[in-house]
Chain A
Amino acid sequence: MTPETLAALTEARAAKRPVVLATRLTDGVQLLLPSDAASPDLNAAALRALDRDENATKEIDGAAWFLHAYAPPVRLVIVGAVHIAQSLVPMAAHLGVSLTVVDPRRSFATEDRFPNVTLMDDWPDEAMDKIAPDARTAIITLTHDPKLDDPALDRALKSEAFYIGSLGSKKTHAARLARLTALGHDEAALARIKGPVGLDIGAITAPEIALSILAEFIVYRRRLGKA
């Protein structure tokens, strides 16, 4: 890899611009895609790789190319700087996601409790408007408090977020769905909310619940672009 290629790749990733590093395996020639200098077939393959978040060797223009997709990290937004969030955040950090914790209650969302994480103390709907969730964003609400969870879920349902989870018992969740219905969300929209959140692994403690939530998150994260 030339210093120029490394610098360009590093710069693209810092700017969260999706790029593919294409390497011709016969001689090591490298291109950063998409690029006007590359063939249409190479550029098309690069866009597919980014869409599917997939690294693969492809036969293109009569040569084997390794396409390494550098998509910006998936974003995980956690609403509620609560006890479970304190377990969830360090575990999620190992998954290579970009983490944001939202909680307007300033005694909860402190840097002491959540070091090295983006903290937002906006009201959840305003925070969500700033975050602008897209198809590579997951949202998990943990507060149990309708006045904090509901505005976040309302905004989440209006977005293309690929995973929406909400902590709470079946009874809490049923009441939550009734309130969101009153806000105008139909059944199909509400089915997007995973509640009770997480895979059923019999989790009891906060770290166990965090693990069950992240396991479910991974199910959806790995399906991205492969529907």
Chain B
Amino acid sequence: MNTDMLSVAAAWKAAGEDVAIATVTETWGSSPRPTGSQLVVTKSGKLEGSVSGGCIEGAVAEAAVRTIESGVPQLLDFGVSNEQAWEVGLACGGKVKVFVERLA
């Protein structure tokens, strides 16, 4: 298991993939992964790492593809206050902010 997401991102980029990096920048309550946790996403659909216990990775990956296409970074906000808590929120009741950027 490679725990260094930057090296994963760099390797995928070098292999010709379009890559985005998502990073947990803030947490409240019982969010499962600490700040600095990263998920690397490619436009072709590869994923490595995590920013939650698996609850929001899908939504983050979708946002990452948009950031890859537009080049514009995003700051995503997930939490139970979200109307769609059970779809893209955190079942644990925590809240996280996730910064998504393209690896140029």
CB distance from B70 to the nearest CB of A (A): 12
How would residues 34 to 72 of chain A score, 1 for a CB under 8 Å from any chain B CB and 0 otherwise? 000000000000000000001111000000001011000
Which residue in A13, A28, A69 is a CB contact (below 8 Å) of B101?
Answer: A28
**For chain A, what secondary structure do more than half of its interface residues adopt (helix, strand, loop), or is it mixed?**
mixed
Report yes or no: A55 in contact with B35, Cβ–Cβ below 8 A. Answer: yes
Contacts of B72 in A (CB 8 A): 28
Which B5-51 residues have C-beta < 8 A from chain A? 6-7, 9-10, 21, 23, 25-26, 34-36
Report the bound CA distance from A66 to B99 in whole Å. 9
- What is the predominant secondary structure among interface residues of chain B facing chain A? mixed
Q: List 13 A-B contacts (CB under 8 A).
A: A3-B104, A6-B103, A9-B6, A10-B6, A10-B7, A23-B23, A23-B25, A25-B25, A25-B75, A55-B25, A56-B26, A56-B35, A94-B1
Q: CA–CA, A28 to B104, complex, Å?
A: 12
**What residues make up the interface of A, taking CB atoms closer than 8 Å to B?**
1-3, 6, 9-10, 13, 23, 25, 27-28, 54-57, 66, 68-69, 94, 96
Cβ of B3: which chain A residues have Cβ within 8 Å of it? 94, 96
**How large, as a class, is the contact surface on chain B?**
20 to 34
Q: B90-104 CB contact bits vs A (8 Å, 1 = yes)?
A: 000000010101111
- Interchain nearest-CB distance for A180 vs B (Å): 37
Cβ distance A48 to chain B, nearest Cβ, rounded Å? 14
Q: When chains A and B are docked, how far (Å) is the Cα of A69 from the Cα of B23?
A: 13
Contacts of A9 in B (CB 8 A): 6
- In the bound assembly, the distance between CA atoms of A96 and B6 in angstroms comes to 14
**B35, A1: Cβ atoms under 8 Å?**
no
Q: What 1/0 mask marks residues of chain B from 59 to 95 whose CB sits below 8 Å from any chain A CB?
A: 0000000000000110100000000000000000000
